[in-house]
Structure 1
Amino acid sequence: MAYSYDPRALIGRAVGAARIGLDVYSWAEEQVVGAIRHGLDSIDPADALEEPAPDAVAEPAKPDPNSLNGKMTRLLDRALDQNTKGSRAELYHHLLDQLVADEARILGALSDGSSSPMVNVFTWLSPRVPGRAVLENASLIGRTANVALPQMVPQYVSHLLSLGLVEARPEDPELATEYEVLMAESSVLAAVKSASRGPLAAKVEKSTLTLSSLGASLWAATMQDDGL
């Protein structure tokens, strides 16, 4: 069977296929543009300009107030608002919170500017080298202050020294009689006996106990009714 070749028929079919392709492309383009337009129309311009809601923003974690960092943060924050008077009042309150009644009595007994004899008793490691302390900060201030626990005077004095409320000064020759009384105290005699080694007697270091400048300022502040 013979087939006739017709160029015009081929051209016609090609043109038809091209038209179908253009129609499909136009339809697809309309669908894409429509979808984009629909998405833009669904957005409220006012909402687009608003900032995220506060609850949507993650807040930084606050330090535990009982942790080391939390306590230091509170101290630093409080320091920003404090003046000299406020800082001094806070210091005085902190010092007073660490005292017992007998220690307050000792401060009161020294508040008039007086001093009290004090001794430390050491053993000897050699004729020229003192060893360990057998008794430290024994003083007659317990009698002067009429403390309730006289046997605790060395501990009271040690604590007050550590707080900087009292200070040890060199031996005062004018207190010679008081030193003799102190050396006759049973606790001092026992310490001297314990620290002696044969011919080597215990080493006794004498000093005087006085109120420090911090102790004096604290005492003066507590005697004023100024709200501190």
Structure 2
Amino acid sequence: MNWIGGVLNGLADVAKSLPGGEVILAAATEAELTALRVVREHLAALDATAEEGQPAAPLEQDQPPTSTSTSTSTLRTLIDKSMYTTPKESRAELHRALLLGLLPDEARILAALSDGSAYPVIHVAEPGHRASTTFSLQYASTVGRAAGVSLPHRTPLYLRRMLALGIVSIGPELPEMRDDYEILLTDASVNAALTAARNGFRSARIQRLTVRLTDVGKELWEAAQ
């Protein structure tokens, strides 16, 4: 500790010889006392831990925020924001989040369904009446091709995603769409699923359904116009 004091005393002599040195010296003295106090406390901690045979604790440093603290802060910000958000603003936020969650091909499907029309959907399942149904294909539909999507064979995936967002819903079979179901059954992916689900002489089971926009989907389309 003596060498630290010697260095600081030398700096004090230099400060006195400069213009305004007394002011500088007064500020430096306060800084000196603070620095000495921190160093003494740390050295005391080193001595104490050395006697106990334990490693010394490092000087306190700012720790980076953890993922938990960041998540908590984000949640708190959202809750605080909701207190001052109007219904109109909340609706706009919802629509924006839904649109950002859509892929370009899914936006095409949204447009194709926007007039209120329904399209055929087919599930292909293995034969039998088990407690749990095993599907070889779900959500096959002609809506993808009708919408002009870039990846028609990914229509089942698009419909799954749009279902999860609450934009479309699956309804019962419509008898008047008989021809549409027959066209869908000629699709290559549906034929492959029928072959995969077949069990010997027992043919695969076919579930005929429909897809259309939900109220949220209609609201989203109208808001985007």
Q: TM-score range by the shorter chain?
A: 0.5 to 0.7
Runs (5+) with no aligned partner, structure 2? 1-64
Give the counterpart letter for 2:133 in structure 1.
G
Give the counterpart letter for 1:86 in structure 2.
E
Please state how far the C-alpha of 1:165 moved relative to its aligned partner: 0.1
Structure 1 pair 200/222, CA: closer, same or farther in 2 (3 Å)?
same
Instruction: Give per-residue Cα distances to partners, 1:143-195, cap 9 Å, x unaligned.
Output: 11000111111000110011110001100011000000001101001101100
Of 70, 74, 79, which residue of structure 1 is paired with 2:77?
Answer: 74
* 1:123 corresponds to: 126
Structure of larger gyration radius: 1
* 2:99 corresponds to: 96
Q: d(CA) in 2 for partners of 1:199 and 1:172?
A: 29
* 1:202 corresponds to: 204
SS at match of 2:73: helix
Q: d(CA) in 2 for partners of 1:94 and 1:133?
A: 31
Alpha carbons 1:121, 1:136 under 8 Å: kept: yes
Alpha carbons 1:63, 1:70 under 8 Å: kept: no
* 1:162 corresponds to: 164
Alpha carbons 1:139, 1:182 under 8 Å: kept: yes
Give the counterpart letter for 2:156 in structure 1.
P
Of 212, 215, 222, which residue of structure 1 is paired with 2:214?
Answer: 212
- Provide the aligned length of Structure 1 versus Structure 2: 161
Alpha carbons 1:107, 1:219 under 8 Å: kept: yes
* 2:173 corresponds to: 171
Please state how far the C-alpha of 1:128 moved relative to its aligned partner: 5.8
Q: d(CA) in 1 for partners of 2:164 and 2:67?
A: 31
* 1:185 corresponds to: 187
SS at match of 2:176: helix
Runs (5+) with no aligned partner, structure 1? 1-61, 224-228
Q: d(CA) in 1 for partners of 2:161 and 2:114?
A: 17
Alpha carbons 1:130, 1:203 under 8 Å: kept: no
Asked if 1:87 is matched to 2:90, the reply is: yes
Identical counterparts, % of pairs: 38
Instruction: Give per-residue Cα distances to partners, 1:171-225, cap 9 Å, x unaligned.
Output: 00110000000011010011011001012211111101101100000000000xx
Instruction: Give per-residue Cα distances to partners, 1:116-153, cap 9 Å, x unaligned.
Output: 000011113x4565631111100000111000111111
Per the normalisation by structure 1, the TM-score is 0.67
Alpha carbons 1:164, 1:215 under 8 Å: kept: yes
Of 151, 154, 161, which residue of structure 1 is paired with 2:153?
Answer: 151
Q: d(CA) in 2 for partners of 1:73 and 1:113?
A: 39
Structure 1 pair 95/66, CA: closer, same or farther in 2 (3 Å)?
farther
SS at match of 1:131: coil
SS at match of 2:189: helix
Cα RMSD of the aligned pairs, angstroms, is: 1.9
Q: d(CA) in 1 for partners of 2:217 and 2:92?
A: 14
SS at match of 2:178: helix
